[in-house]
């Protein structure tokens, strides 16, 4: 992508986010849903940036599922927050955690998942870290599926299904078991998410 286009996208301005907090399982692991992080006027430009990244068919959910890959892109900047788009979303996630009295360290890595109808996704944990998952599609129809599924392992079942609404970030304890939902056959666009991993 041309540098000028990247910089235009980097100037996304925070809207007036609203938030919801969920506590899951016997350890009350925390998950936050932040909505309206980006103004509606800037969502189309943001989606265009993510839609045009140079994806490769290399990503998998777990070490034992490498035969089932999907498209991904990893930001090469070091630290990842040197990329202005990553810096914007990481800043929003970290500010929210700190506003809740939660300690959070540096951004360890940032990458993008692109999922299509027919892909396979597996339940997994991210480890002892915080994950921020930003939904960057311009539009998302409820019939398209693709919900982020979060499990309560103690109850041996699904705890929450979170719709990938545009301009939404889900920030959660990486020890929560979760799975990216696969888009339905009705989907006219790929499901694209930016994942940011932060140390505690």
74-118 pLDDT, tens digit per residue, is: 999 999 999 999 999 999 999 999 999 999 999 999 999 999 999
Mean pLDDT for the chain overall: 90
**Could you give the strand order of the β-sheet that contains 178-180, starting from the edge strand earlier in sequence?**
157-162, 148-152, 178-180
- Residue 8 has what pLDDT? 40
Report domain extents, the chain: 3-198
Note the pTM of the prediction, 2 decimals: 0.88
CA distances from 2 to 6, 52, 68, 78, 188 (A): 6, 10, 31, 19, 26
Instruction: Indicate if the pLDDT at residue 12 is higher than 60.
Output: no
What percent of the chain is modeled with pLDDT above 90?
79
- Residue 2 has what pLDDT? 37
Sign of the alpha-carbon torsion through 70, 75, 81, 87: negative
- Residue 68 has what pLDDT? 87
Of 49, 41, 73, the closest CA to residue 59 belongs to 73
Given CATH 2.60.120.620, say whether it is the number of domain 3-198: yes
DSSP state of 183: B
pLDDT single digits (tens) 169-189: 999 999 999 999 999 999 989
- Residue 17 has what pLDDT? 65
């Amino acid at each position: 992508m041309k540098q000028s286009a990247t910089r235009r996208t980097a100037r996304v301005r925070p809207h007036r986010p609203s938030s919801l907090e969920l506590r899951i399982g016997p350890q009350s692991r925390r998950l936050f849903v932040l909505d309206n992080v980006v103004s509606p006027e800037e969502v189309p430009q943001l989606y265009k940036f993510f839609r045009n990244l140079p994806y490769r068919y290399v990503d998998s959910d777990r070490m034992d599922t490498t035969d089932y890959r999907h498209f991904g892109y990893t930001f090469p900047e070091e630290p990842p927050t040197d990329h202005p788009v990553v810096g914007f979303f990481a800043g929003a996630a970290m500010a929210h955690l700190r506003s809740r009295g939660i300690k959070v360290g540096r951004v360890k890595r940032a990458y993008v998942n692109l999922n299509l109808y027919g892909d396979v996704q597996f339940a997994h944990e991210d480890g002892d870290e915080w994950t921020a998952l930003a939904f960057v599609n311009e539009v998302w129809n409820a019939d398209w599926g693709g919900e982020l599924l979060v499990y309560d392992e103690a109850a041996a079942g699904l705890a929450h299904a979170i719709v990938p609404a545009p301009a939404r970030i889900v920030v959660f304890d990486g020890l929560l078991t979760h799975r990216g939902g696969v888009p339905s056959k009705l989907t006219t666009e790929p499901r694209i998410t930016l994942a940011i991993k932060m140390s505690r």
